[in-house]
Amino acid sequence: MNEFISKIKDLNIGKIEEDASLRKYTTYRVGGIARCIAYPRNVACLVKLVRFLKMEEISYKLLGNGSNLLFSEKPYEGVLIRLSELDQIEFFGKNKIRVGAGVSLIKLSLLAAKKGYTGLEFASGIPGSVGGSVFMNAGAYKSDMGYVVERVKVLTPELKIIYLENKEMDFHYRSSFLQKHRDYICLEVIIKLQKGNKDAIAEVIRERRQRRIESQPLEFPSAGSVFRNPEGNFAGKLIEDVGLKGKVQGGAMVSDKHANFIINCQDASSDDVKYLIDLCHDTVLETYGIDMKIEQEFVNWE
């Protein structure tokens, strides 16, 4: 691996971080060591890096804000790519924003609100990057990225840069074209909003933030909702009904404030978190026959 890292450094594509703790890069604050994290300076550097990794048959993965990932405690031997340098935000036309994949979705939503644009209020509490949020079709309050994304600039597996229009992105509930075609990389997004009343927009964001503070364990590291709500039901209620609210494993706990959150309350390990995820899933399945869909992606557990 050290030889490959040396070659990656020779590419001069941007910052390279070695043997980094993934606790710093995931919202659960758990995980092992990443042997190599690369930060391409721009799209050209990203293309150069991915071409090299493909040629050398080195595994790689895009890492946004780590808000929906659960890495194991094992070292990640491939290359993690962070697009935090793709951070441009440009307002243009009457109501459009051109935004890089590495921008914080919360930052973008608050900036849009400050400028009097409505449509992104739902995103003011979603702790992901714009690229990761498009990948997941992140949403809340009966809205999601599919409602506001006009087009997406992507890097194809053949290392071509193309645009995908909203319909081509195949947005559905917590799903998109990118989830089904994981060798495509989101580079940039065009978002279309509407002009609104700044005070009214700010009030919506304030009310929702207060509601989150009252109902969610925001004071602890977590990855937000662990399970999607089954149709006609609520994952948190199902977990509570089977008696697992407040269940502790090592340093992790099924939140006693909201049972669809698993929190790192005392230096938890990845294994602690995964144990509770599996326990909640399997117990609800055995009790009610409901196969709850897990929101988080398990990485490096093979």
CA atoms within 13 A on the CB side of 252: 23
Residues 151-185 pLDDT 10s: 999 999 999 999 999 999 999 988 999 999 999 99
Residue that terminates a domain, selected from 55, 81, 107: 81
Please check whether residues 49 and 135 belong to one and the same domain: no
Q: How many angstroms separate the Cα of 233 from the Cα of each of 125, 207, 208, 260?
A: 23, 24, 22, 12
Domain extent, residue 103, equals 89-200
Torsion, CA 131, CA 134, CA 138, CA 140, rounded to 10: 110
Across the chain, what does the average pLDDT equal? 96
CB neighbours of residue 212 within 10 Å? 15
Q: Which of 85, 121, 188, 295 is catalytic?
A: 295
CATH of residue 285 = 3.90.78.10
Q: What stretches of the chain show up as alpha helix (H) in DSSP?
A: 2-10, 43-56, 105-114, 130-136, 177-180, 198-215, 235-241, 270-288
The confidence band for 189, taking pLDDT boundaries of 50, 70 and 90, is: very high
The confidence band for 271, taking pLDDT boundaries of 50, 70 and 90, is: very high
In a domain, 266, yes or no: yes
Q: Which of 73, 77, 174, 175 is catalytic?
A: 174
The confidence band for 3, taking pLDDT boundaries of 50, 70 and 90, is: confident
Tokens of 229: 């709500």
In a domain, 94, yes or no: yes
Question: d(Cα 231, Cα 67) in Å, to the nearest integer?
Answer: 24
Residues 116-155 pLDDT 10s: 999 999 999 998 899 999 999 999 998 999 999 999 999 9
| Residues of the chain by 3-state class (helix, strand, coil), percent to 5 | 35, 25, 40
Question: d(Cα 46, Cα 48) in Å, to the nearest integer?
Answer: 5
Please check whether residues 189 and 95 belong to one and the same domain: yes
CATH of residue 184 = 3.30.465.10
| pLDDT at position 1 | 66
Name the pairing type of β-strands 60-62 and 76-81.
parallel
Contact assessment for residue 152 and residue 189, using Cβ atoms and an 8 Å cutoff = yes
Please check whether residues 35 and 99 belong to one and the same domain: no
Task: Tell me how far the alpha carbon of residue 245 is from its chain's centroid.
Answer: 25
Task: Please say if the pLDDT value at position 240 is more than 90.
Answer: yes
| pLDDT at position 84 | 96
CB neighbours of residue 193 within 10 Å? 21
**pTM score:** 0.92
Tokens of 266: 């005392």
Per-residue three-class SS string for 188-240? EEEEECEECCHHHHHHHHHHHHHHHHHHCCCCCCCCCCCECCCCCCCHHHHHH
Tokens of 103: 């921008």
In a domain, 211, yes or no: no
Q: How many domains does the chain have?
A: 3
Q: Which of 72, 84, 225, 270 is catalytic?
A: 225
Q: What is the mean pLDDT of residues 54-74?
A: 94
Please check whether residues 94 and 188 belong to one and the same domain: yes
Q: Is 295 a catalytic residue?
A: yes
Q: Is 225 a catalytic residue?
A: yes
> Dihedral of CA 284/224/178/229: which sign?
positive
Tokens of 150: 């006009």
In a domain, 239, yes or no: yes
Q: What is the mean pLDDT of residues 68-80?
A: 96
| pLDDT at position 206 | 96
